[in-house]
Homo-oligomer: A and B are copies of this chain.
């Protein structure tokens, strides 16, 4: 297991925790000098907040740990390519390194739909490594969305039965 895979496995553990809470399974950790300074998992539904993505939660915790908003010298490991909001938060926090699990062709803000993190127009560019434990991350997301479809069908069936 490489160093990147070691930290990504911890992020995947957080993604699994999100899934247990019926949230889209995405997890993130921020590492500085070999220590985790921020952890996050997606909590958008339970938290009733559109900002509660894994990356945002991890940045929030890391800033509190460091006592400032510049996450210089830190690396974020995240199981799914950040959306534009999270990619924007990463450049706002001046995070220099980003390691991504699976790409997100629908909402990806780091190259898949737009590229916020590597855009010469902005005052900060991020060094990105992709595809670390990507299969594990994709498998987790697929399991979640299959389960979600089953849950939604069951709900629809119950609603139909109750209406009859």
Name A's B-contacting residues (CB within 8 A).
44-45, 47-51, 53, 56, 59-60, 63, 67-71, 83-89, 91-94, 106-107, 109, 113-114, 116, 119, 121-123
Contacts and interface: CB of A to CB of B under 8 A. Distances in A.
B51 A60 contact: yes
Contact of A116 (B53, B89, B114): B114
B84 A63 contact: no
A71 B48 CA distance: 11
B84 A109 contact: yes
> What is the total number of copies of this protein in its complex?
2
Is the contact region of chain A dominated by helix, strand, or loop, or is it mixed?
A: loop
Contacts of A49: 60, 63, 69
B50 A93 contact: yes
A80 to B, nearest CB: 14
A32 to B, nearest CB: 15
A84 B83 contact: no
5 contacts: A50-B70, A51-B56, A83-B92, A85-B88, A88-B116
